[in-house]
A and B are shown apart, each in its own frame.
Chain A
């Protein structure tokens, strides 16, 4: 019942206006036949202009027998193509959307997303002073000291306290760490990636299980070569974006610029 009713009221007016007998499927069949003779692409308009009037019908076939007007057909096709491409482009743009930095990060081969696989491992209650045990090495988040390590493209030539570096990462910094026995030429290559860029810092890291390990809050990528193109991919994609306090600076404030893995307390108020 519910299937047959929707069609009913729509069919009715047609029947009434034509004032003819044809039942359900008939008029459609008749129109189709006319349309087919009228040539492809024109059946709709022929039918519409016909308006269901009787005398009209014979005219259409006559027209057709005289050959097609290619100009209009080409135009119809052009409009069709244009309409399809507009719709297609819109659909494609919508589908593709804007690729977020998260998508870009997920696209980096070998990256580990701890925000996804271990959110508890990088959560923390509040700032904490002194030494802190970290679950991952190098750490990718979690509790940290009050002071952050300055991350204005700073290249530290000695290990730094993770307790400060983790705070830098909270501010959106990418912390590049490398094995201390890396050749100086490689270290210089890495420095070239970091130096001069806000929200980046680098330092050697004792006991690293890869040549280079890159960290941002909740993200890590370990690579075996200083030439690996994923290094730049990681730094540019995650620097600042990975901040969990968006808008907070890396370059100013109560930062520390000292090296050594012993965490420092906040410097006393700077004078006056």
Chain B
């Protein structure tokens, strides 16, 4: 069979156009072209799929800022868990603290995977679509001031419940606002999923807190 190919090639060569490459060569050329295309495609696909959010991405901003936002919620939730009067409120506090602390863990893990540091080089909330300004104290929307946190620490009895409800509703509204900001600009699955989940949970908790606030107040 090699003789067949060879014969054809020879016939061709003996024909009119001597510089023409042999059929084998042409086939090889086509094959190589295919390999080249595949190679380029594969490289492009690999580079694209390996791309992770960068230092100034919305995803990194969200992971960092929501971690800190959550951290304060955990603190408040632990206070109400420890000394809230209404058992339902203590239950909410317990739930919130564990959930949000776990979510902080998720977000920190992303940053590690993306090879980014937990602390950003840009001001907080700068990544938000509407670039929310953050005060010199670094408090993001919804966060309680130092004084309010101290007040919550020092409060006693029914005052704990009322103060917690007020602070946490504001805090959650800020959290939902941040999650919305992320959802507006990101399509990274794990981040979108957490933003959506936390937004829904916080919306429900706001409803719950309002109800308890009315009942207790």
Q: Chain B residues with Cβ under 8 A from A272's Cβ?
A: 82-85, 156-157, 160
Within 8 A of A (CB), among B115-141: 115, 117-121, 124, 134, 136-139
Interface of chain A, main secondary structure = loop
- B32 near A79 with CB under 8 A, answer yes
- A252 near B10 with CB under 8 A, answer no
Contacts across chains A and B counted by CB atoms under 8 Å:
131
The chain B residue sitting closest to A83, CB to CB, is B39
Within 8 A of A (CB), among B1-59: 2-3, 6, 9-10, 13, 18-19, 21-22, 24-25, 28-29, 32-33, 35-36, 39-40, 42-43
Most buried by A among B13, B19, B42, B71: B71
Q: Chain B residues with Cβ under 8 A from A236's Cβ?
A: 117, 119-121
Given A55-B6, A56-B6, CB of A82 within 8 Å of CB of B40: yes
A86 to B139, CA, bound (A): 46
Assess whether A180 is interfacial by the CB under 8 Å rule.
no
Given A55-B6, A198-B67, A271-B160, CB of A79 within 8 Å of CB of B74: no
Q: Chain A residues with Cβ under 8 A from B21's Cβ?
A: 69, 71-72
Q: Chain A residues with Cβ under 8 A from B63's Cβ?
A: none
Assess whether B177 is interfacial by the CB under 8 Å rule.
no
- A271 near B83 with CB under 8 A, answer yes
Assess whether B101 is interfacial by the CB under 8 Å rule.
yes
Q: Chain A residues with Cβ under 8 A from B24's Cβ?
A: 49
- A195 near B35 with CB under 8 A, answer no
Q: Chain B residues with Cβ under 8 A from A241's Cβ?
A: 117-118
- Interface residue count on the B side (C-beta < 8 Å): 56
A199 to B35, CA, bound (A): 52
Given A249-B101, A252-B75, A269-B82, CB of A240 within 8 Å of CB of B137: no
Given A49-B24, A152-B71, A249-B74, CB of A79 within 8 Å of CB of B13: no
- B36 near A82 with CB under 8 A, answer yes
- A270 near B39 with CB under 8 A, answer no
Assess whether A24 is interfacial by the CB under 8 Å rule.
no
Q: Chain A residues with Cβ under 8 A from B138's Cβ?
A: 153, 195-197
Assess whether B72 is interfacial by the CB under 8 Å rule.
yes
Assess whether A247 is interfacial by the CB under 8 Å rule.
yes
Assess whether A62 is interfacial by the CB under 8 Å rule.
yes
- A82 near B39 with CB under 8 A, answer yes
- A82 near B43 with CB under 8 A, answer yes
Partner of B119, one of A56, A67, A98, A197: A197
A199 to B108, CA, bound (A): 13
Assess whether B209 is interfacial by the CB under 8 Å rule.
no
A200 to B75, CA, bound (A): 16
Given A75-B29, A76-B32, A240-B119, CB of A51 within 8 Å of CB of B2: yes
Pairs across A and B, CB under 8 Å, 6 listed: A69-B21, A72-B21, A79-B35, A82-B40, A196-B139, A272-B83
Chain B residues engaging chain A, CB cutoff 8 angstroms:
2-3, 6, 9-10, 13, 18-19, 21-22, 24-25, 28-29, 32-33, 35-36, 39-40, 42-43, 67-68, 71-72, 74-75, 78-79, 82-85, 101, 104-105, 108, 115, 117-121, 124, 134, 136-139, 150, 153, 155-157, 160
